Amino acid sequence: MIDLCETLQASKSAISTSTRLLDEMGLIERAPSPLPRQVYFRFAPGGWVTFMRMYLRMMASLHEIAERGLVLLKDEDPALRERLQEAHDMFSLIEDELPALLEHIESQRMS
C-alpha cells in the first residue's frame, strides 16, 4: 500500500477505502505478496467485463436522462436540442451494442 500511496500521492486511508470498494465491486482481488506484511492487489479475472457492465448501467441512466430532456425541449429551437440528441443517440447505440459484445468477450474467456 505504501507504493500506491507514494505513486498516487494519496493517504493510506484513501487507498484503503478505494481498494476495499474496488474489491467489493469485484474489480480487484488480493494477490500473493513476495514481502511479509504487504498487501498486493491485482485486477480480478473478468474484472474488465464487470467494469464495463457497471459502465453500461451508467450509460442506461444517462440515456434515460437524455430522453427526458428531449421531451422537455420538444417545442424548443432544434439548435438547443442538438447536443442532447447527439448524447441520446450515443447512449442508445451503447445500450444496443455493448451487451452483445460483453457476452462475446465472456464466452471467449470461458472457453
Domains of the chain by start residue, with CATH:
2-43 (no CATH), 47-110 (1.10.287.160)
Taking the C-alpha atoms of residue 39 and residue 34, their distance in angstroms, rounded to an integer, is 9
pLDDT value, residue 1? 65
Percent of the chain scored above 90 by pLDDT? Answer: 73
Question: Which one is predicted more confidently, 86 or 40?
Answer: 86
Tens digits of residue pLDDT in 34-51: 888 888 889 999 999 999
Instruction: Give the pLDDT of residue 105.
Output: 94
Amino acid identity, position 91: F
Report how far residue 61's alpha carbon sits from residue 54's, in angstroms, rounded to the nearest whole number: 11
User: Is this prediction's pTM over 0.85?
Assistant: no
